[in-house]
Structure 1
Amino acid sequence: MASKVIHAIYNDDDVLLLAVKQVREARYHIGEIYTPFPVHGLDKAMGLAPTRLAITSFLYGVVGLVVSIWMMQFIMIEDWPQDIGGKPSFSFLQNMPAFVPIMFELTVFFAAHLMVITFYMRSKLWPFKIAENPDVRTTDDKFLMEVDAANLNVDDLSDFLYKTGASEIKIIDNK
């Protein structure tokens, strides 16, 4: 099944943001937007749901805290207790002030590393993945809006996109 998409190129991020709002008001479906830098407010203009990555970061931090507590309990209290600097080695709670930096560092370590892994998995950025950027100019100074044109009048949609401020329009036939 063949589907058509239109690539509209914009020169300015403010024009792109206004165009996204106009395209959504006209009830056209925006497939993707490629920008050389993050555009503030673009996610809300596109109607994207808010991210839940902060929740996963908190959960990963909790996992890091639990692992650090379990690790210190096992290593320093149960497996090989030592008298270091006169500190008692038979109680986790008595050693807690000395363990706080370790708990903090492992919480941050787990949250940071697992968030990077989660981001790559969610974004489908695998090692040796071929780039899916449709126009290399979007990595420099251009902004590209990909609008689905299946079952639509392509000429009317192109005229509409030119009126929103697009400097260039390409019709792509995906097969």
Structure 2
Amino acid sequence: MSSKVIHAIYNDDDVLMSAVKEVRAANHHIEEIYTPFPVHGLDKAMGLPHTRIAITAFMYGLVGLCTAMWMMNYIMIENWPQNIGGKPSFSFFYNLPAFVPIMFEMTVFFAAHLMVITFYMRSKLWPFKEAENPDPRTTDDMFLMEIPVTGDEKEMTAFLESTGAVEIKITEKH
């Protein structure tokens, strides 16, 4: 099902930020904003909820830590114990100081790699995916605010022009 959306294009991030605040104050829903670079505070201005990605990073780090501990215990204590530098090879606890760097590195490795995979899956990105950018100028120097048309198009267009939009287009969203 297709519906109409308004694409309001801005040429300055400060103008965009004030426009987002005005549009939200007027109780209009902002579907998406496309920017050429991250705009600090835009997520709060849009009213987006906080991300839970830090929680997943912590959980992935714990998986990496547990994997490292299991791997070192299995390899160095149970499967193939060796006397390296006079360290006892019968206890994980006695070897713990030597294992700390490995546990740290595995924690960071798992957290980083699994976070990238989670980001790509959550964003529905994969190799060779076609871009969904409605206007190619948003990768250079323009900012685009996408708002669904719910009422009078002319009234909404005039309102967006008053917020500082340099160009306004009404298109069908697929």
**TM-score w.r.t. structure 2 length?**
0.98
Name the amino acid aligned to 2:40: H
Partner of 1:60: 60
Tell me, yes or no, if structure 1 residue 164 matches structure 2 residue 163. yes
SS at match of 1:8: strand
Count of residue pairs brought into register by the alignment = 174
Hey, what's the Cα distance between the residues in 2 that align with 1:123 and 1:40?
20
Partner of 2:172: 173
Unpaired runs of at least 5, structure 2: none
Partner of 1:152: 151
Hey, what's the Cα distance between the residues in 1 that align with 2:125 and 2:172?
25
Partner of 2:94: 94
How do 1:134-149 residues align onto structure 2 when only pairs under 5 Å count?
Answer: 134-149=134-149
Q: Write out per-residue CA displacement over residues 75-104 of structure 1, whole angstroms, 9 at most, x where no aligned residue.
A: 000000011111110000111111011000
Hey, what's the Cα distance between the residues in 2 that align with 1:103 and 1:29?
46
Partner of 2:122: 122
Hey, what's the Cα distance between the residues in 1 that align with 2:129 and 2:173?
20
Hey, what's the Cα distance between the residues in 1 that align with 2:134 and 2:89?
61
Following TM superposition, by how much is the alpha carbon of 1:2 offset from its aligned partner in structure 2, in angstroms?
A: 3.4
Partner of 1:13: 13
% identity of equivalent residues? 72
With over 3 angstroms needed to count, the CA separation of the structure-2 counterparts of 1:2 and 1:92, relative to structure 1, is closer
Name the amino acid aligned to 1:89: S
SS at match of 2:95: helix
SS at match of 2:146: strand
SS at match of 1:169: strand
SS at match of 1:94: coil
Name the amino acid aligned to 1:145: M
What is the root-mean-square deviation in Å for CA atoms of aligned residues? 0.9
Following TM superposition, by how much is the alpha carbon of 1:5 offset from its aligned partner in structure 2, in angstroms?
A: 0.1
Following TM superposition, by how much is the alpha carbon of 1:107 offset from its aligned partner in structure 2, in angstroms?
A: 0.4
Q: Write out per-residue CA displacement over residues 8-35 of structure 1, whole angstroms, 9 at most, x where no aligned residue.
A: 0001000000000111111111110000
Partner of 1:72: 72
Partner of 2:33: 33
Q: Which runs of 4+ in 1 moved over 2 A?
A: none
Hey, what's the Cα distance between the residues in 2 that align with 1:113 and 1:2?
37
